[in-house]
A and B are shown apart, each in its own frame.
Chain A
Amino acid sequence: MNSFVIAAMLLVLLGLAYQTGWSRSRAVAQSSGQRLHSRPIYHGVWVALWVVIPAALIMGLWALFGPGVADQFARSQIPAEIAAGLEPGQIVNAVSRIKAIASGFGIIGEPQPFEAEAARALSQFQLYGFLIVILAAAIIGIGALLYARGRIVPGLRARNQVERVITLLLLACSGVAILTTVGIVASLLVEAIRFFTFINPLDFFFGTVWNPRFSTTGTGAEGDYGLIPLLWGTIMVATIAMLFAVPVGLMAAIYLSQYAHPRVRNVVKPLIEILAGIPTIVYGFFALVTVGPFLSGLGATVGLDIRATSAATAGLVMGIMIIPFISSLSDDILRQVPQSLRDGSLGLGATQSETIRRVILPAALPGIVGAFLLAVSRAIGETMIVVLAAGNSPVLRFNPFEPTSTVTVTIVNQLTGDSDFAGPQSLVAFALGLTLFVLTLILNVAALTIVRRFREQYD
């Protein structure tokens, strides 16, 4: 309700401001006989901006600090003699009970008289606060409107100023993405640091045993949190996936971009891209039900002991999953190589495959390396396939035909079920997440460096 009122008010104010600016500028132009620097619509937008920015600022401040102020108020409403008899924790509890009553949600048990009293006061305070803020925003908005209206002269560079505000708006939007990243990293970092108060970082990063015992009581039962087996599992699965996906994906891209008739390409490329649209959980049970038993049977015929759920199974299916990434991206990159280079090579009597190997692939290499590293990031972060197909066995093994586990799978395991985020059992997930983040970050930086170096050489 409240937000509706605010939104409606803002809209009315905005429309009013726009209309004012628009008509005022025309009137000014007419009466002075001068030509306007900016067209009336820019004057309209200019006045509207003048109105909306201070009003939004006040609303924003209220949204930011209002709850804190209300909290303080509720606390002050608890009678001093009662507050004196309460522990700090109980006071916090009482405040949240008061707020719950005031908001009309109700609480468990009967409200005590002082709570009901305080809640009434609080809801009144909130109503007045809200009205005051709305009023203040409206007054300032209208004031700004009148001020801006008075400043309209034919020479006003409304167009340029609106442009500048738009630039700032765009900047703010790109800032959102960056701030989100910073926020995620910060929250990961904070929780990870809490984890490291339980477990020595050296034991975490260099430990070779992963065995977090699930016990919430007792001090000696914390278990081992060695990262190495998980990291090794991740690297092994991702490597198998890339070993499979890179040659297949790249060759598919070469065929599509260099050899395929346009009609063939128009059919085949979307078909390959369908692979990218399959949910990874579906790949997961494809691995579990089909690929795993197949590999196991294949191993039996050649005398190899291959488990149905193993690093190889997960890696292979993950490879299938990332083929479309590699082929589709590489295809686009290969097609961007200028026709003139192709002609130049063919004109010298090179065959098509010589042209591809010696001219087109080198020219496209930076982009292709970028595509590979994107695919690696994808493989490292992939979860569902590995959950189902890798056997979930966080033991350091070097045989790809035996079960393994990865960082992502372990995060899932540690966070599912009853987790209270107080013990290392669940906090370790953040440390693992951070490790994963740093790993992909390093890969991305490496990708950028490689791409830049090749670009210098080739442009």
Chain B
Amino acid sequence: MAKTTRQTQKWLLAAVHLGSLLPLVLFGLDAALGRLGFNPIETALHRSGRTAVAILLLSLTVTPIIKIFNLPMAIRLRKPLGLYAALYAGLHFAAFVVWDFGLNFGLIWLEFTQKPFLWVGLGALVILAVLAATSTRFWKKKLRSGWRRLHRTVYLAAGLALVHYLLAVKGDLLTLQGEYTRPLLAAGALLLLMVLRVPAVQQIFQRNRR
């Protein structure tokens, strides 16, 4: 790799770390200044959830960017983005069980028995946790070709996260009456990213490049 490319990669990596930590820093700042609003728990839940979805979608843009724009150096950005997505999903869950429910597992279980969308979100979280735990070189070697298949379930996690998001909106999903703009934009982005992974679609871009 040329020296300038490595330099660019370093800057991009720094931007990913700074950009991903920024929402957490801003949250801390708002908390310190008493700017979390009148329902700080709800604010924490909404912000952590939205940040997790945004970073998760960003992590999914890396592979298409590599293939379409022929930028193999971008690969180094994928793992940190995925880990940050898992971190925010974990914070989202922690805000729910620790801050909101004070670790009262009876009440938490009651919630889960009554609200299907919580299971969907938990499914996404479990997948992201497994992927984060197996993101090391050790696991990559150990799982060999299975590692790729395992890590493709990130698309399943993203799908579950968006279903969780869509179901959490107040309104009616079938008639789209409610605040669906953001979750639908996210769902559209995920759909596009998945289409870009279809081999036939990738060939179109590669042919154009040649």
Tell whether A and B belong to one assembly.
no
